Amino acid sequence: MEMENRTVVSEFILLGIPNTKGHETILFIGFLAFYLCTLLGNLLILSAILADSRLHTPMYFFLCNLSVVDLGFASVSTPKLLVSLWAKSRTISLGGCMSQVFFFQFLGSTECLLCTVMAFDRYVAICHPLRYLIIMNWRVCAILAAGTWITGSFHATIFTSLTVTLPYCGPNVIDFYFCDIFPVTKLACADTYIIETVSFTNNGLVPMTCFFLILLSYVRIVFSILKMNSAEGRRKAASTCASHLTVVTLFFGPCTIIYTQPQLSKVVATALQISADAVAPMLNPVIYTLRNKEVKGALRKQRGSDDCTLMCCICRSSMWMSIEICL
């Protein structure tokens, strides 16, 4: 009878970024710049790799997948945040909130697995160069890539199902700038032990296992690099690995702190979350482009041969990606 007298929540209110009252315009301009740079940077990487046949290799195939993940990651929360900052509209429907939970978990777990697959690719390329094309053939690459996306969707489906089935009877104020598991489940008027246990397993043990596999791969890679006789070979291998390691650090660093320390202060947790889902997707194309002569050459070639077509494609894609969850 007590549950029947409670009001079922149909929408939530996002409090946004803490301690930023009066700075909405500056934040709007900053996040809009981050978002546009993320869209343009990742679309440029995708177009350059797809247009240049010399880049149709396993490493760049996985880099294309990473760019798609980054495009999605930036589009989960940023459009709604921009609407909140500009139009002062902080409400989000229950369906929109659960959509953010799903896509954030989906893309986050996919990127975690993709970083592990990319580390394995670098391990095979450097430690077993003569067998690289045999081991990393296109069938294997397709299976690995599909596996990351399918596993990510399975992970997100479990979390979203557990989250959406919880009863929300009020209050409906989410103390964050978008819907994630911890801020949302705090508002549930029921026991959250099951979802907390699943969260510890999926968001704790699985990423740690991936990080351990990446670390193990790089231990083997370092030994192989030290054994190389060619200084140029060592430099090229180290440069490629440095780009991937930087991406891994930008992803695993903030996420590890956020999901292993749920009692973090709001300011620290928000700053870490922004670095993970707004700054990192913008920096990833820059990291791979600045340290990779092949990608820079493909971009120059693309720019010189088909500026008009490329810019039209980017504009159309940017408009499509901006139509996101702003319910």
Instruction: State the pLDDT at residue 259.
Output: 67
Instruction: State the pLDDT at residue 291.
Output: 62
Q: How far apart are CA 61 and CA 185, in angstroms?
A: 37
Q: How far apart are CA 182 and CA 195, in angstroms?
A: 10
Task: Tell me if residue 303 falls in helix, strand or coil.
Answer: helix
Least confident range from 230-234, 304-308, 316-320: namely 316-320
Instruction: State the pLDDT at residue 3.
Output: 44
Could you tell me the two tokens for 319?
A: 């408009």
Instruction: State the pLDDT at residue 309.
Output: 44
Helices 94-127 and 138-164, axial angle in degrees (round to 10): 150
Instruction: State the pLDDT at residue 213.
Output: 92
Amino acid identity of 3? M
Least confident range from 27-31, 115-119, 319-323: namely 319-323
Please state, rounded to an integer, the average pLDDT across all residues of the chain: 82
- pLDDT beyond 90 at 244: no
Mean pLDDT of 64-91: 89
| pLDDT band at residue 315 using 50, 70 and 90 as cut-offs | very low
Q: Of 135, 73, 132, whose CA–CA distance to 108 is shortest?
A: 73
Could you tell me the two tokens for 37?
A: 């740079």
The DSSP H or E segment spanning 173 is strand 173-174
> DSSP secondary-structure letter at 89?
-
Q: How far apart are CA 170 and CA 189, in angstroms?
A: 8
Domains and CATH numbers, the chain: 11-321 (1.20.1070.10)
- Higher-scoring residue by pLDDT: 315, 64: 64
**pLDDT tens, residue by residue, 129-165:** 889 999 999 999 999 999 999 999 998 999 899 898 8
Q: How far apart are CA 173 and CA 14, in angstroms?
A: 6
pTM: 0.84
Q: Are 251 and 196 in contact (CB under 8 A)?
A: no
User: Radius of gyration (Cα) for the chain, nearest Å?
Assistant: 21
Mean pLDDT of 209-213: 89
- pLDDT beyond 60 at 49: yes
Q: How far apart are CA 120 and CA 127, in angstroms?
A: 10
Q: Are 199 and 162 in contact (CB under 8 A)?
A: no
DSSP-H helix ranges across the chain: 24-51, 58-87, 94-127, 132-135, 138-164, 181-185, 193-200, 206-226, 231-260, 266-274, 280-290, 293-305, 307-322
Q: Are 124 and 132 in contact (CB under 8 A)?
A: yes
- pLDDT beyond 90 at 17: no
> DSSP secondary-structure letter at 186?
T
Least confident range from 19-23, 218-222, 283-287: namely 19-23
Mean pLDDT of 21-36: 89
**pLDDT tens, residue by residue, 280-303:** 888 888 887 766 677 777 777 766
| pLDDT band at residue 311 using 50, 70 and 90 as cut-offs | very low
Instruction: State the pLDDT at residue 6.
Output: 52
Instruction: State the pLDDT at residue 320.
Output: 39
Q: Of 143, 112, 233, 152, whose CA–CA distance to 135 is shortest?
A: 143
